[in-house]
């Protein structure tokens, strides 16, 4: 009585598909995938880019980049 069989899960899945529809479930899956991909890119790209200083035409530093200004 403590665990569910495969038939219980198939019935639950069928009810979910009937209630929400396959299109809405597909959109939820896409949104979740995009969110995970964006999170991974954000974590991966966090340390890759070094802050750059603003320079004039002669290459002299006008303003040093500061991480705290974000």
Domain layout of the chain by residue ranges: 1-47
Helix (H, G, I), strand (E, B) or coil at 63: strand
pLDDT at 15: 92
CA atoms within a 13 Å half-sphere pointing along the CA-CB vector of 31: 6
Pair 53, 64: CB distance under 8 Å:
yes
The contacts of residue 61 (CB under 8 Å, 6+ apart) are 53, 54, 55
Q: Tens of pLDDT along 1-45?
A: 568 899 999 999 999 888 888 888 888 889 999 999 999 988 887
Pair 25, 16: CB distance under 8 Å:
yes
The token duo for 41 is 């890119």
Q: Is the pLDDT of residue 65 over 60?
A: no
Q: Is the pLDDT of residue 49 over 80?
A: no
0.85 exceeded by the pTM? no
């Amino acid at each position: 009585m403590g665990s569910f069989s495969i038939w219980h899960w198939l019935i639950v899945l069928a009810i979910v598909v009937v209630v929400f529809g396959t299109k809405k479930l597909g959109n939820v899956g896409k949104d979740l995938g995009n969110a995970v991909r964006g999170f991974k890119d954000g974590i991966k790209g966090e340390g890759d880019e070094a802050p750059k200083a603003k320079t004039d035409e002669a290459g002299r530093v006008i303003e040093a980049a500061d991480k705290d200004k974000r």
